[in-house]
């Protein structure tokens, strides 16, 4: 006997626990190796999404059932029995909540997202992530209140205490509220939408998610940046995706020895390059701008209309300029210095012979 139970009872407890773990692992294996293969062959994706979101909660419930029936074989005191039962109730409620939340997630992914994608408005696409998070928060709050009541805690008294500390909480949560109002401002003013390329401060990238507290963007190197909405609301924001064309300005220096005929030819070459490139507007401004320190400066202003490929367009234009200038025999200049050396011997005064 040990703590009022025979060794046989403890062996049965261990057997139930091992059985629950084994059945859970078998179910997980069946889910990943067989059930998923079967559902992948069906026409609908709903079953794939449900299996993906349900397998882990179900495995946890199976293992929990093994522990529950195992402890049911022991002779426990009233206090110990009540405590064990309450623990299992909490774990069971949390598991069921996990299942429900995952099912709602599956429904949103399978039905609401495709429906939102088909509408003309972008607002519903932006609201879906917020709705998902909001539903999760509300469900967990409801479950938390239920569990608090289960343990005999007066919820009304707890809420009264929270009300008394509301002022202190509001002061502490000033940044959170600022981000919340910033998120509301973004959703109502719509300075950008999902997929837009924006610049905020030193950050340049594409919007992947708009939340009530933060906005996520992915940069060109694949880095995901999370920006508080209060920062976006207080910053100068440039929405590159809403521009019809991006203005580019470059200056090319050619050698001072370049004759006027070649300068005029350079102007024609540059206009032809801009006109023939499919990513740029036909219009361009090309002018002999100034006499630089080491070169004759030609200024080129043109507009890129393919905003998704700005870097590629600049690359093509620059390569074409170099290639065409080389063929035409127009040499680009680089900074030079002319150094005049003084003959020290010649500069020294001759000594008079005595």
State the DSSP string of 61-129.
HHHHHHHHHHHTTS---HHHHHHHHHHHHHHHHHHHHHHHHHHHHHHIIIIIHHHHHHSS-SHHHHHHH
Distance, in Å, from the CA atom of 299 to the CA atom of 251, rounded to the nearest integer, reads 4
pLDDT digits (tens, 9 = 90+) for 310-334: 889 999 999 999 999 999 999 988 7
Residue 350 is assigned to a structural domain of this protein: no
Backbone angles phi, psi at 207, to 5 degrees: -70, 125
User: What pLDDT does residue 269 have?
Assistant: 94
Per-residue pLDDT of 138-193, as tens digits, reads 888 888 887 777 777 665 665 565 554 555 555 555 666 676 677 777 776 778 88
| Domain shared by 223 and 118, yes or no | no
- Of 242, 259, 294, the last residue of a domain is 242
Backbone angles phi, psi at 198, to 5 degrees: -130, 160
Question: Is 334 within a domain?
Answer: no
Structure tokens at 117: 């994608």
User: For 268-283, what is the mean pLDDT?
Assistant: 91
Same domain, 111 and 230: no
Residue bearing the bigger pLDDT, 32 or 266: 266
Last residue of a domain, one of 242, 266, 282: 242
Q: Are residues 76 and 212 in the same domain?
A: no
| Helix, coil or strand: residue 241 | helix
Based on the fold, state whether residues 318 and 201 are members of the same structural domain: no
Average pLDDT, the chain: 79
pTM of full prediction above 0.75: no
Looking at residue 191, which CATH number applies to its domain?
2.30.30.60
Please report the pLDDT score of residue 339 as a whole number: 67
> Given a cut of 60, is residue 346 above it in pLDDT?
no
pLDDT score recorded for residue 272: 93
User: Which tokens in the block code for residue 31?
Assistant: 């889910």
Convert the pLDDT of each residue in 239-250 to its tens digit: 887 777 888 999
How far is C-alpha 148 from the chain's CA centre?
A: 36
Same domain, 140 and 47: yes
8 Å CB contact between 263 and 289: no
pLDDT band at 287 (very low <50, low <70, confident <90, very high): very high
152 plus 33 within the same structural domain: yes
Same domain, 238 and 299: no
Please indicate, yes or no, if residue 348 is contained in any of the structural domains: no
Which residue, among 173, 186, 188, 176, has the nearest Cα to 213 in the 3D structure?
176
| pLDDT attached to residue 172 | 52
Do both 25 and 130 map to the same domain?
Answer: yes
The pLDDT, as a whole number, for residue 68 is 79
Residue 168 belongs to a domain:
no
Q: Are residues 23 and 120 in the same domain?
A: yes
Question: On the CB side of 144, how many CA atoms lie within 13 Å of its CA?
Answer: 8
49-80 pLDDT, tens per residue? 777 777 777 888 888 888 878 777 777 677 77
Q: Tell me, yes or no, whether 23 and 158 share the same domain.
A: yes
Cα–Cα distance for residue pair 207/214, rounded to 1 Å: 11
Query: From CA 220, how far away is CA 308, in angstroms rounded?
Result: 11
Residues shown for the chain: 354
The answer as to whether 341 is a domain residue is: no
168-185 core/surface letters (b: 16 or more CB in 10 A; e: else): eeeeeeeeeebbbebbee
Residue located via tokens 């060109």 = 220
Q: Tell whether 158 and 12 lie within a shared domain.
A: yes
Neighbour tally for 280: CB within 10 Å: 23
pLDDT at 19: 85
Q: CATH no. for residue 301?
A: 3.30.70.100
Domain count within the chain: 3
Domain endpoint, select from 190, 212, 242: 242
| pLDDT band with cut points at 50, 70 and 90 for residue 261 | very high
DSSP state of 324: H
> Is the four-CA dihedral 104, 60, 58, 31 of positive or negative sign?
positive
What average pLDDT score do residues 102-126 get? Answer: 71
Domain holding 287, by residue range, is 246-328
Strand-pair partners of 206: 197, 218
Q: Say if residue 92 is in the same domain as residue 218.
A: no
Cα three-residue angle 96-101-103, rounded to 5 degrees: 95
């Amino acid at each position: 006997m040990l703590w009022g139970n025979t060794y046989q009872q403890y062996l049965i407890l261990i057997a139930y626990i091992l059985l629950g773990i084994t059945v859970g692992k078998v179910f997980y294996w069946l889910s990943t190796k067989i059930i998923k293969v079967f559902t992948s062959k069906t026409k609908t994706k709903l079953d794939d999404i449900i299996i993906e979101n349900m397998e882990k909660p179900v495995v946890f419930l199976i293992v929990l059932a093994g522990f529950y029936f195992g402890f049911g074989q022991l002779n426990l005191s009233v206090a110990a029995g009540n405590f064990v039962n309450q623990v299992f109730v909490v774990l069971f409620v949390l598991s069921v909540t996990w299942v429900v939340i995952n099912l709602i997630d599956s429904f949103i992914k399978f039905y609401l997202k495709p429906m939102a994608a088909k509408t003309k408005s972008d607002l519903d696409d932006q609201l879906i992530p917020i709705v998902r998070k909001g539903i999760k928060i509300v469900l967990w709050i409801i479950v938390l209140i239920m569990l608090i009541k289960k343990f005999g805690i007066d919820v009304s008294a707890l809420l009264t205490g929270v009300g008394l500390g509301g002022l202190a909480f509001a002061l502490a949560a000033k940044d959170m509220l600022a981000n919340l109002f910033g998120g509301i401002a973004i959703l109502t003013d719509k300075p950008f939408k999902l997929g837009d390329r924006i610049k905020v401060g030193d950050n340049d990238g594409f919007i992947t998610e708009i939340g009530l507290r933060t906005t996520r963007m992915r940069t060109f190197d694949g880095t995901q940046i999370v920006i508080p909405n209060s920062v976006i609301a207080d910053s100068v924001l440039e929405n590159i995706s809403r521009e019809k064309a991006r203005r580019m300005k470059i200056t090319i220096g050619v050698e001072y020895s370049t004759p006027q005929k070649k300068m005029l030819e350079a102007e024609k070459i540059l206009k032809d390059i801009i006109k023939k490139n499919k990513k740029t507007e036909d219009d361009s401004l090309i002018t002999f701008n100034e006499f630089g320190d080491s070169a004759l400066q030609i200024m080129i202003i043109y507009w890129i209309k393919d905003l998704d490929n700005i870097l590629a367009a600049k690359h093509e234009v620059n390569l074409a300029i170099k290639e065409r200038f080389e063929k035409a025999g127009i040499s680009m200049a680089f900074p030079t210095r002319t150094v005049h050396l003084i003959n020290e011997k010649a500069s020294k005064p001759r000594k008079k012979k005595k």
